[in-house]
Structure 1
Amino acid sequence: MDPILLDADRRIGGPYTFAAALLDHLVPVALERWPELVAAYDIEIRAAAPHLRGVVPARRRSLADDLPRGQRILVPGARRSLRVANGLAEFVRDHLRRAGALAVTVANLAEADHTDAELVAVLRRRLEPGLLTIAEGPSAPGTGPLPADFDRYRDEGFHHAMAESGLARLREQYDPILLQRVGAALEAIEREDEARALYDRARRATTDPKHRATIAYSTAMILVRHHDPVRRDPEEALAWINEAITITSLLPDPRERAFHLGFDLNGKALVEVRRRRPDAAMELVRQAIDLAETHLPDEHPIHRLVLYANRAQLLAAAGHAEEALADYTRAIETDPGYPDYYLDRGNLLHALGRAEEALADYEAVMRLSPPFPEAYYNRSELRFAAGDLEGARADLDHTLELDPGFVPAYVNRSGIYASTGDYGLAREDVERGLALAPRDPHLLCVLAQVELADGRLPEARAAYDAALTIDPGLVAAWAGRAELAFERGDHDAALADLARALDLEESAELLFNRSVVYRAAGRPEQARRDLLRAAELAPGDEDVERALAEA
């Protein structure tokens, strides 16, 4: 098997230079022999190799595909490239399983764009040994300029390329539109200080009202969405967003004003959420919706669906579940091909106990999107709640295959392992998770269970204590520490911890556990009182009924 030589130097084609060359080798064969395989990964192939769009039709389409670029206001987030990489890896895997193994030598791998570097890592992680051999070839990078396909970078969410090429262009000439795009890209990849510097430069360079309003809005968003919560400042953000609103409310054209002012009002709603003023946020989104419905009935549909989805989030947080569902549904019906709001609606349906509808929404995400770890993770929670531990674990396995950095999946999978007595596997997952998130209280809670199972009582107590120091409201940690105290014969400490747990969340399980401790401590009346209350909360529970009969 002679290797094929491909070049990954981003100066050749920017994002997915290596991927496009690999697809040039594989897609023609697949189109001839397995066209259904190409169709299954149309989004990923078209994103990585735009020159193949003429032979790879778009099967999964979104409303944005047919709108003018100025109305495509939803820019993909930084995590989308990982989804695309996973989809490409699955296409390559399924192709090579049918066609046979392939060896590839990649020149200039160190010069690859972020997208190709990410793809190579995913290919090496996900493909079985021997199916695709990737060897690093010679390094002789070109000296020409970086590609500058800024529309493609924005539409596909290629933020690293936008930042690198855009900054190079801005050093040569000032371009207000490009500056906004580059700033947004820098924010997306957590380089907010550089974005803020760009916005400050813009304020010194222009007096154009719309541009200044946009820069004020963007500055406010840095201050409320900074990836480091310590760096957030909602009060300063309020000052900047008010400046944006002041300018856009004065724009003379009613349609232009409706769009830009509505955009800024929606941004101010996030600021008010951060300031813990949800009613004010709701009113601002309502105003933005009214502007859009009145002045933009036949344009900017994505702007409107974003507003309805944002109002749905606020309504759900305020306990207005049915109204929230209606707004999510309106957003989804506006663009049935956009996956993210199915996920949000599914989460709300799950919280309402409407498991079948939630499952349908999660599986819609799986159909519409490149591999989306959150959809599999959320389906695992549905399966776990239904008692399907094997199905839940399979979904968690796949979540972590797609994204080994998905900490909540380690939490839940380690919990499943602990519940089934697989403490060695539980410890492995806890250690992986804590390497990524050393202060995750849920992982510390599972660690405590593992330590307790191994008879390491001081270590178990230390893990519970650490979890409660980080999150004093974690019911599972209070309940677990109570169990540990009970194991050590310290009934008073167990009762104290169970009391704290019950103050946070009254449940039949906690009441039953406290009744056991009361009985062991020689306090039968208190034990019976807890059992009676547990029976009210969980009528028909066999353990509770049996304990009441014995009491």
Structure 2
Amino acid sequence: MGRVDTIILDADRRIGGPYTLAAALLEHLVPPALERRPDLVAAHDIEIRAAAPRMRDAVPARRRSLADDLPRAQRVLVPGARRSLRIANGLAEFVRDHLTGAGALALIVTNLGEADHTDGEFVAVLRRRLGPGLLRIEDGPSAPGTGPLPADFDRYRDEGFHHAMAESGLERLRGLTYEDDPGGWQHLLQRVAAALEAIEREDEARELYDRARRLSTDPKHRATVAYATAMILVRHHDPARRDPEQALAWINEAITITSLLPDPRERAFHLGFDLNGKALVEVRRGRHDAAMDLVQQAIDLAEAHLPGEHPIHRLVLHANRAQLLAAAGRTDQALADYTRAVEADPGYPDYYLDRGNLLHRLGRAEEALADYEAVMRLSPPFPEAYYNRSELRFAEGDLEGARADLDHTLELDPEFAPAYVNRSGMAGAMGDYELARKDVERGLALAPRDPHLLCVLGQVEQAAGRHPEAQAAYDQALELDPDLVAAWASRAELAYEHGDNGAALADLTRALKLEETAELLFNRSVVYRAAGRPDKARQDLLKAAQLAPGDEDVGRALAEV
């Protein structure tokens, strides 16, 4: 083993807020990387600039989006709470690739228990993704500072550092009264409450909004608070806590106020924002046509009164209309709206992902692949892009590529439950039931009522000869999702193995009503023959031959009946 450098860094968030530790590490690693591998630094510009603001002069922004050149008031898209995980993964890949050529590092971290959420997440990713041969992390002593928390609220808002915004903002609000600075108090309260919502502390956000209503009579502020309350009620992280009807009352209050704003430009923006919010409420109420009308009203307001300004607001509206159009089956119009959003801000990755999903649904695999890979280029590591590409590769028969993408998805985010669904199903189909069981167990720990995982669990139990357990898993999967074809087909196979041809036929018939495929028809023909009904078997085989004319198994079976 070669020489190992040792550095000691302090993670106390009171020093620099989010990414205190990461910034110190980057200030140690980036200068030599700029000399040896400037391409590596450029490839991680977003992550380095987000984590280490003092290095922005040395690391120019290579990947830029529309928001970078707009006034802050027009940057209406605030990053979600999961963005910090993408940043952490990108930073980890930079550290890994730099150390691979520069030599191993021992990192002693003091005050790790006092780190901001971002640094805690970063250290967890480093430990998961970098072996001790490259980076060894040791906990150092703890002697936390006692001063106030940093309060760079513009940075926290722009980068989506919601934990820091919540903690530092609440600390600042405790020392600030409405009477001291009504405008500043209202602005900070809105930011802090939004951050609390983002990190699933909605009850605390609601308390802040209620406090604002008791103190403020400013129309725009009260409208914003009413809108935000409605959004809590339709987007609460616990579905059982959602209440679309109560949300409707709050969003109508917001619209009532913003409809009366005297300035037409100000009214167009704020009212359009609220109409867009009401559209989500109507979607939750099952009124998709009403939602479409509301988004169209917001678009009309923006086009009439906001020419040349608020471009992000407008592209969000078109993307939202695209989602509604796609749900209504108006796919050509939906694609046009997604494309408009992408072309308005070609550096923003999320709408490529949405458009790629629609293209995938339409069977336009090459175009979907191009969109997913655009996300990979434009963004720090984005688990969903790799997951979605794995589905494309699987559909094309590239099992090795699909498996690699699923592996990478879970390397980036071990809590990405859908990837366990697909990887366990793939492992089960290939006969690797031990791996399938491990993935099912990991997935069910995250999503214990996922019917797809329960279906794979049934297949695993069936392969192990644990038939009662398999039956119970299939039954539970179908109770949760009566339209899950794979569960009907698998339960039919289990019944057939036990000689219960009647149950097998009933389950296969239910599966075929949901999705008529050559494979299901062939399987039902097998059961019909076992039940002494060759005429029914032949009918199924003839249909299967029409759906899959080159299938050799179907051809042989037809010759035998």
TM-score, shorter chain, exceeding 0.5: yes
Report the Cα distance in structure 1 between the residues aligned to 2:518 and 2:305, rounded to whole angstroms: 54
One of 398, 420, 424 as aligned partner of 2:408: 398
One of 261, 267, 275 as aligned partner of 2:285: 275
Deviation, 1:17, is 0.1
One of 350, 358, 373 as aligned partner of 1:363: 373
One of 476, 483, 486 as aligned partner of 2:486: 476
AA aligned opposite 2:153: F
One of 471, 475, 488 as aligned partner of 1:465: 475
Q: Does 1:325 align with 2:335?
A: yes
Aligned partners of 2:5 and 2:104 also within 8 Å = no
1:296-445 map, 5 Å = 296-445=306-455
Report the Cα distance in structure 1 between the residues aligned to 2:496 and 2:553, rounded to whole angstroms: 19
1:34-433 map, 5 Å = 34-173=37-176, 174=178, 175-433=185-443
Aligned partners of 2:81 and 2:162 also within 8 Å = yes
Instruction: Give the match's secondary structure for 2:9.
Output: strand
Per mean C-alpha deviation after superposition, the further-off stretch among 167-176 and 351-360 is 167-176
In structure 2, the partner of 1:27 is: 30
Report the Cα distance in structure 2 between the residues aligned to 1:185 and 1:215, rounded to whole angstroms: 14
AA aligned opposite 2:165: M
Question: Cα gap change, 1:415/1:335 in structure 2, threshold over 3 Å: closer, same or farther?
Answer: same
Per mean C-alpha deviation after superposition, the further-off stretch among 439-448 and 148-157 is 439-448
In structure 2, the partner of 1:548 is: 558
AA aligned opposite 1:42: D
Aligned partners of 2:272 and 2:299 also within 8 Å = yes
AA aligned opposite 2:43: A
Instruction: Give the match's secondary structure for 2:78.
Output: coil
Report the Cα distance in structure 2 between the residues aligned to 1:310 and 1:528, rounded to whole angstroms: 49
Report the Cα distance in structure 2 between the residues aligned to 1:255 and 1:301, rounded to whole angstroms: 13
Q: TM-score, normalised by structure 1?
A: 0.99
Per-residue deviation, residues 45-69 of structure 1 (Å, max 9, x unmatched):
0000011000100000000000000
Instruction: Give the match's secondary structure for 2:347.
Output: coil
Report the Cα distance in structure 1 between the residues aligned to 2:272 and 2:550, rounded to whole angstroms: 53
AA aligned opposite 1:16: Y
Deviation, 1:163, is 0.3
Deviation, 1:290, is 0.5
AA aligned opposite 2:70: L
Instruction: Give the match's secondary structure for 1:283.
Output: helix
Q: Does 1:493 align with 2:496?
A: no
Report the Cα distance in structure 2 between the residues aligned to 1:354 and 1:486, rounded to whole angstroms: 38
Per-residue deviation, residues 162-211 of structure 1 (Å, max 9, x unmatched):
00001111111141111111111111100000000010001001000000
Per mean C-alpha deviation after superposition, the further-off stretch among 342-351 and 168-177 is 168-177
Deviation, 1:2, is 5.1
Deviation, 1:431, is 1.2
AA aligned opposite 1:113: D
Deviation, 1:524, is 1.3
1:4-19 map, 5 Å = 4-19=7-22
Report the Cα distance in structure 1 between the residues aligned to 2:524 and 2:138, rounded to whole angstroms: 60
Per-residue deviation, residues 342-362 of structure 1 (Å, max 9, x unmatched):
000000000000000000000
In structure 1, the partner of 2:182 is: none
Report the Cα distance in structure 1 between the residues aligned to 2:560 and 2:241, rounded to whole angstroms: 58
Instruction: Give the match's secondary structure for 2:30.
Output: helix
Deviation, 1:96, is 0.4
Per mean C-alpha deviation after superposition, the further-off stretch among 340-349 and 164-173 is 164-173
Report the Cα distance in structure 1 between the residues aligned to 2:46 and 2:19, rounded to whole angstroms: 14
Deviation, 1:533, is 2.6
Instruction: Give the match's secondary structure for 2:150.
Output: coil
Instruction: Give the match's secondary structure for 1:4.
Output: strand
Report the Cα distance in structure 2 between the residues aligned to 1:346 and 1:509, rounded to whole angstroms: 29
Deviation, 1:547, is 2.6
Report the Cα distance in structure 1 between the residues aligned to 2:541 and 2:258, rounded to whole angstroms: 62
In structure 1, the partner of 2:181 is: none
AA aligned opposite 1:222: I
AA aligned opposite 1:37: L
Per mean C-alpha deviation after superposition, the further-off stretch among 369-378 and 129-138 is 129-138
AA aligned opposite 1:40: A
AA aligned opposite 1:10: R
Aligned partners of 2:353 and 2:375 also within 8 Å = yes
Instruction: Give the match's secondary structure for 1:3.
Output: strand
Per mean C-alpha deviation after superposition, the further-off stretch among 529-538 and 460-469 is 529-538
Deviation, 1:134, is 0.8
Aligned partners of 2:151 and 2:169 also within 8 Å = yes
Report the Cα distance in structure 1 between the residues aligned to 2:302 and 2:278, rounded to whole angstroms: 16
Report the Cα distance in structure 2 between the residues aligned to 1:259 and 1:512, rounded to whole angstroms: 58
Report the Cα distance in structure 1 between the residues aligned to 2:552 and 2:205, rounded to whole angstroms: 60
Report the Cα distance in structure 2 between the residues aligned to 1:76 and 1:2, rounded to whole angstroms: 36
Per-residue deviation, residues 198-253 of structure 1 (Å, max 9, x unmatched):
10001001000000000000000000000000000000000000000000011011
Deviation, 1:546, is 3.2
Report the Cα distance in structure 2 between the residues aligned to 1:517 and 1:181, rounded to whole angstroms: 62
Report the Cα distance in structure 2 between the residues aligned to 1:539 and 1:311, rounded to whole angstroms: 41
Deviation, 1:129, is 2.5
Deviation, 1:148, is 0.4
Instruction: Give the match's secondary structure for 2:58.
Output: coil
Report the Cα distance in structure 1 between the residues aligned to 2:243 and 2:225, rounded to whole angstroms: 17
Report the Cα distance in structure 1 between the residues aligned to 2:300 and 2:499, rounded to whole angstroms: 63
Report the Cα distance in structure 2 between the residues aligned to 1:351 and 1:301, rounded to whole angstroms: 28
* Count of matched residue pairs: 551
Report the Cα distance in structure 2 between the residues aligned to 1:199 and 1:340, rounded to whole angstroms: 29
Instruction: Give the match's secondary structure for 2:356.
Output: helix
AA aligned opposite 2:25: L
Instruction: Give the match's secondary structure for 1:105.
Output: strand
Per mean C-alpha deviation after superposition, the further-off stretch among 419-428 and 273-282 is 419-428
